[in-house]
Amino acid sequence: MTEIVKQSARALLFDSEQRLVLIRRTKPEQEPYWVAVGGGVEVKDTSVEAALHREVLEELGGRIDRVRQVLVITDDLPGGIGIQHVFIARLTSMDLTHRTGAEFTESGRGTYEVARVPATRDALAGLHLLPPRLAEFAQANLPGLLALVNEEDEADEAP
């Protein structure tokens, strides 16, 4: 049996203006790239979704709702596999002054710039979004992802 040696939770976050909220990573001597907000599941997390909420709070000082898992990415790692649980969610609030975590305090880790990107295929095509499977999935499914994250709004407006 293959052992899961690492799990992470990431989210394609949509803000109130239907933009994707991503992190632009700049590391010394590397080309900039973009990632979805998220990170590793820790022992203290009660679930993968709880890990996602914690990561959004740490990386953005943010809160989310309308969380839905939409993709699982499996990676071969030394000693087993890594599982990336990918969610979509609506970003309900963000206060960058409340960001915490090693990525903001340890020197040499580069920068973590919050970027709001139009939720269009053209805008996504112009980014170096990692991992590649996430980039491909987001490009192929953007209209459906937007519809899912907005589904409750439409239900609220029904007569």
Q: Is the pLDDT of residue 108 over 90?
A: no
Model confidence over 120-154: pLDDT tens digits?
Answer: 999 999 999 999 999 999 999 999 999 999 986 65
Specify the DSSP class assigned to residue 49: H
User: What is the average pLDDT score of the chain?
Assistant: 92
- Closest listed residue to residue 13, CA positions, set 86, 97, 84: 86
Distance CA 83, CA 75 (A): 6
Query: What's the pLDDT at 159?
Result: 53
Ranges of H-type helices in 32-131:
48-60, 102-105, 121-125
Query: What's the pLDDT at 48?
Result: 98
Burial status of residue 6 (CB atoms within 10 A of its CB: 0-12, 13-18, 19 or more): middle
The domains of the chain, with CATH numbers, are 4-154 (3.90.79.10)
Q: Give the residue, 104 or 43, on which the prediction is more confident.
A: 43
Query: What's the pLDDT at 134?
Result: 97
Element (H, E) at 110: none
Q: What is the mean pLDDT of residues 112-124?
A: 95
